[in-house]
Structure 1
Amino acid sequence: MRSRGRRRGSAASFQLYTPDEERAVVRKFDRRLVVFLALLYMLSFLDRSNIGNARVAGMDDDLQGDRRDSRWYEWALTAFYITYIGFEWMALLWRIIPPHIYISVLVMSWGLTASLQAVAINYPMLVALRAVLGIGEAGFTGVPFYLSFFFKRHELAFRTAIFISAAPLATTFASSLAWLIMKVGQNGPIAPWRLLFLVEGFPSILIAAVAWTVIPDSPEKASYLTHRQRKVARLRLRHEQPSPNPKKSTNNSPNKLSLRATLSVLTSPVAWLTAAIFFLTNMAYSSLPVFLPTILTSMGHSPLLSQALSAPPYLVSFIILLTTAYASDASRSRSPYLIASALLSSVGYAFLALTGTSILQLPPGHTLRYLAVYPAAVGFFNVVVLTVSWSLNNQRGASRQGGGFALMQVVGQCGPLVGTRLYPDEEGPYYERGMAVCAVAMGVVAVLGLVLKVYLGGLNRGLDEDEGGDGEGDGLATRGAGEMEKFRYML
């Protein structure tokens, strides 16, 4: 029955537009929108995480002098995440403020703040600037939600991966750039760490103006599409969510949010399980990029070599992340890839935790310790992408998608509050406690992924038996004029 329904849907779509027309629209969005958003996220992640490189480049010496206290560095990291968490609700503003305005303001704000870190004269000033930086970047976390305005459910993981893969790419770039800046700035008039903040923050200020003209508010408003392609872009998503009535629209958003539907996710086990997975994953995702240069230095490598060695794990993560997301979209499945990635990361962290114990007892600079960073990083980057996509896939309608995404971000971004305190200086060079915590966290992620898969499978069986509801308040999903299709959770 369902296969015949899909064939009828495909035939109906072909009468409105051809597969070639649809592919042309998707390719344009990939090249012009997704790649540009990935560039913005690369700058965002660069401005957020380069503090780890700045620390190795002498930031602590200039801001603290001889009275070193590692807790100041931890507070600089924590201050960012306090505001980052407190302003995660801004993800909902993608449906309220025209995106081209919203993105431009966000990019300008974090670029300016990141550059101003170069003039910090003490740690309290740096902590304050990091807090302001967190506000600007919090609003930008809603980009996957924004991408759901343009792509179908089974297309989201790969596009989200292209976007989020800018994070490991940025870390690769940051490490290489930090190494170059340290070499150039060693004998210059500006301290290398100050030069690092300036060089990496200023491009965001410039590209904010470009975002104003490049970012479309909706598929129908993309300037780089022809009139026909804009129509195809709208029609191809008519089965995904209710279409707005442009005559009644009071803003440039694709449709309005319902407060009641948005808040309904607070009673959704699906939303809470996804948020818990994101929380645990973020403990690793937030900590390794900012501490890896320090960890590598504690292994016995020079500061310059530590910067260089920080890059390869993230370059490998970038390649595997895109491959995993593509396979997930192609199979229209999330849980097998998420569970496998979480276990991979857990094994990497567990190995690192055991190397400082009597069980393995390897020298701090042993090659195997460095190689274990690769599966740890690959695993948690994969899980982040798959979790974000899974969250959007399994909330029907713009309001529930927005509410579920905001809940996932608010709960999930509390993970860095733990993650940024896992590697105090006095626990080097092995950092057994931090590595063990991340190993356990990623192991629990695998278990929760399995639980969520089983729960969603039960909901889908209920939908097959009962055509009247889905157990989560979604009911039937509107396909078109008088045409209905049952909503199904993606496993």
Structure 2
Amino acid sequence: MGNLHIAPAAGNGFPDDSPSSSSSSSSSSSSSSNHRYTPVSNDLEEEYLRSKPSKPTGAPLRLQTDFGDSVEVGGPVSAVSDVDGDNGYDSAEGNEAKRRRAREAPKYTSEEESEVVRLFDRRLVPFLALLYLLAFLDRSNIGNAKIAGLQEDLNLSSSQYEWLLTAFYITYILFEWMTLMYHLVPPHIYISLCVCGWGLVASFQCLATSFGTLVVLRAMLGIAEAAFGPGVPFYLSLFYRRHELAFRNGLFISAAPLATSFASSLAWTITKFSADGPISPWRTLFLVEGFPSIIAAVFAWALIPDSPGRARFLTRQQRVVARLRLEENKPDYQQTKEQRFKWGEIKKTLADPKAYMAAFMFFSCNVAFSSMPVFLPTIIKDMGYSSLRAQALSAPPYLVAFAVVLLTAYASDRAHTRSPYIIAHALVSSLAYSIIAAIGYFHNHLSIELHIFIRYICVYPATAGFFSAITLIITWSMDNRIEKEGRGASIAILNIIGQCGPLLGTRLYPESDGPWYIHGMATCSFFMVLVAVLAFALRVLLQKANRIVVAGNNDNSAHSGEERDELMGGGRRDDLEQSGDRRLVYII
């Protein structure tokens, strides 16, 4: 007797049951995969189907036999056998084609995916950026406090002030390992505790009466912030695909220049209105800018999702789509036996020279990133401005940097490339620093108004350059890792090496070098050139690796007879990063 087959309907619960969708699905075996769809496991597919409202269909079932005839018995219909063109015969080739079509069948629509991404963009990224704004505000406002009376009230020498800056980064580096807690503790709990911790410490700085007390508080602030900021790019990688990450990391990191600008504006306001108050303006500054973090911690507990599938601001159906698009079944701290931690990915990343090249790029960029925000008010004051006006003039360069970071990250995602933008911004920033240093040598040949104008204007491309470069360096280090363990290891290497840069950066502008600070400006210029050189070298290595992968894919395609899709960077389509194929084509 022939085998019996009951063919399911085209509209039996899949996200799009229009005729065009059915046609597209039926012909998927002869065309390249759609970039908008991601194959997923059966358990997630079943959960998705349960979350979708069922639609009645009026077409009957068709009973097929191996003799090629069919009998309508009622119910939904789908011409599975007709698509195969095998008239119902169960050949091995036909079964394999059916299985391949089942894997390639769309599990959710592009509109559903876009809506999920938009919700993450509106509800998750801006809130994380707000938290980072508060963190960077509490970290860098010591530069504003210095010219608001801190140095005079506590009788701080130039060396002691530098130690206040360095103490923060010493503990910030030593406690980088705390980013591993994102794997072990539910993020909404962990992030809330971090935010509350640095808010309390930042506020307590207003009570300091000596250098010793303040240096201890700065060290504690470094511990609290080390547990939060360095791990957020990894946390975001659990919600976005790699070609979506640069802009979202840009939104997050752009909070740093915005915070510095906000700090300068707020410092100007506090200094102006608290000059005759009951406490010193710098104490008011620490209290007013530290306390909001404690309030934000309460909201973080309620708003931060532990994983894409647990976001409260998504509907049940949207949570399933969020998990499907990234194959994110469970958060890291709830791994099952089948989802054991992949130590092999850690070892592979630790042995990869490309990870260290990115880390030394981060180190070089951090020399400028850590120094300018805390020294700019002093640098501008030494140009000849009053303390109050220096506070106000410190804000505009960071507002410009905020806009440039977002534009650069958006363009990088659209172009699917990183290195050209890093190289361009690093060279522009280096040129700006070198001009400021050169003015220090040749200021006697320029009028006072002209050399002040040139030095101040060059601050704009210098700050915009290193803020934009550091955003893409962080993103680039995770772009080319498939497994979460590899991404986490690359971030750990990036921060352990890269965060040593501030140990140098915070000592580049001693008072003895004022008002020109030639040595500090020249040093930052050198390290920004080094960023460009390392980015170019890493680009060459990745291009070489891509050529090998593409050549291998061409050989495989020739043997299998299948078409090869393309991925950004010169290889295969980006959807393959979510598939079982682990031969990654690098983003360059």
Q: TM-score, structure 2 length as denominator?
A: 0.77
Once the two structures are superposed, residues 152-198 of structure 1 have per-residue CA deviations (whole angstroms, 9 ceiling, x without a partner) of: 00000000000000001101110000000001110001100000000
- Which amino acid in the other structure matches residue 362 of structure 2? F
Residue 110 of structure 1: CA displacement?
A: 0.4
Counterparts of residues 297-308 of structure 1 (less than 5 Å): 297-308=381-392
Q: In the alignment, does 2:311 pair up with 1:227?
A: no
Report the equivalent of 2:54.
Answer: none
Number of paired residues? 472
- Which amino acid in the other structure matches residue 115 of structure 2? A
Provide the C-alpha distance between the structure 1 equivalents of 2:333 and 2:373, rounded to a whole number of angstroms.
43
Provide the C-alpha distance between the structure 2 equivalents of 1:131 and 1:315, rounded to a whole number of angstroms.
29
Provide the C-alpha distance between the structure 2 equivalents of 1:218 and 1:10, rounded to a whole number of angstroms.
21
Match of 1:202 among 273, 291, 296: 291
Report the equivalent of 2:88.
Answer: none
Report the equivalent of 2:267.
Answer: 178
Residue 6 of structure 1: CA displacement?
A: 4.2
Q: Which structure has the greater CA radius of gyration?
A: 2
Give the direction of change, closer, same or farther, for the CA distance of 1:21–1:86 in structure 2 (3 Å limit). Answer: same
Give the direction of change, closer, same or farther, for the CA distance of 1:206–1:255 in structure 2 (3 Å limit). Answer: farther
Q: Is the Cα–Cα contact under 8 Å of residues 361 and 534 in structure 2 kept in the other structure?
A: yes
Report the equivalent of 1:473.
Answer: none
Q: Is the Cα–Cα contact under 8 Å of residues 362 and 494 in structure 2 kept in the other structure?
A: yes
- Which amino acid in the other structure matches residue 487 of structure 1? L
Once the two structures are superposed, residues 182-229 of structure 1 have per-residue CA deviations (whole angstroms, 9 ceiling, x without a partner) of: 011100011000000000000001110110010000000000100110
Report the equivalent of 1:52.
Answer: 143
Provide the C-alpha distance between the structure 2 equivalents of 1:79 and 1:188, rounded to a whole number of angstroms.
30
Match of 2:401 among 317, 321, 331: 317
Report the equivalent of 2:466.
Answer: 380
Residue 300 of structure 1: CA displacement?
A: 0.4
SS at the partner of 1:15?
coil
Q: In the alignment, does 2:249 pair up with 1:160?
A: yes
Once the two structures are superposed, residues 208-267 of structure 1 have per-residue CA deviations (whole angstroms, 9 ceiling, x without a partner) of: 0110010000000000100110111111113xxxx4468x97369x96643342243221
Q: Is the Cα–Cα contact under 8 Å of residues 47 and 197 in structure 1 kept in the other structure?
A: yes
Report the equivalent of 1:110.
Answer: 198
Q: Highest relative contact order (Cα 8 Å, sep 6+), 1 or 2? A: 1
SS at the partner of 1:355?
helix
Please give the root-mean-square deviation of Cα atoms over the aligned residues, in Å. 2.3
Q: In the alignment, does 2:475 pair up with 1:389?
A: yes
Counterparts of residues 246-265 of structure 1 (less than 5 Å): 250=334, 257-265=341-349
Give the direction of change, closer, same or farther, for the CA distance of 1:159–1:455 in structure 2 (3 Å limit). Answer: same
Match of 1:212 among 298, 301, 319: 301
SS at the partner of 2:165?
helix
Once the two structures are superposed, residues 265-322 of structure 1 have per-residue CA deviations (whole angstroms, 9 ceiling, x without a partner) of: 2211110000000000000000000000000010000000000000000000001110
Residue 485 of structure 1: CA displacement?
A: 6.0
Q: Is the Cα–Cα contact under 8 Å of residues 275 and 281 in structure 2 kept in the other structure?
A: yes
Q: Is the Cα–Cα contact under 8 Å of residues 343 and 446 in structure 1 kept in the other structure?
A: yes
Q: In the alignment, does 2:511 pair up with 1:425?
A: yes
- Which amino acid in the other structure matches residue 25 of structure 1? V
- Which amino acid in the other structure matches residue 249 of structure 2? T
Identity %: 52
SS at the partner of 2:587?
coil
Give the direction of change, closer, same or farther, for the CA distance of 1:269–1:6 in structure 2 (3 Å limit). Answer: farther
Provide the C-alpha distance between the structure 2 equivalents of 1:107 and 1:249, rounded to a whole number of angstroms.
20
Once the two structures are superposed, residues 337-366 of structure 1 have per-residue CA deviations (whole angstroms, 9 ceiling, x without a partner) of: 010010010011011110011388544861
SS at the partner of 1:486?
coil
Q: TM-score, structure 1 length as denominator?
A: 0.92
Provide the C-alpha distance between the structure 2 equivalents of 1:34 and 1:447, rounded to a whole number of angstroms.
31
Report the equivalent of 2:224.
Answer: 136
Residue 336 of structure 1: CA displacement?
A: 0.5
Give the direction of change, closer, same or farther, for the CA distance of 1:184–1:357 in structure 2 (3 Å limit). Answer: same
SS at the partner of 2:581?
strand
Residue 466 of structure 1: CA displacement?
A: 3.6
Residue 39 of structure 1: CA displacement?
A: 0.2
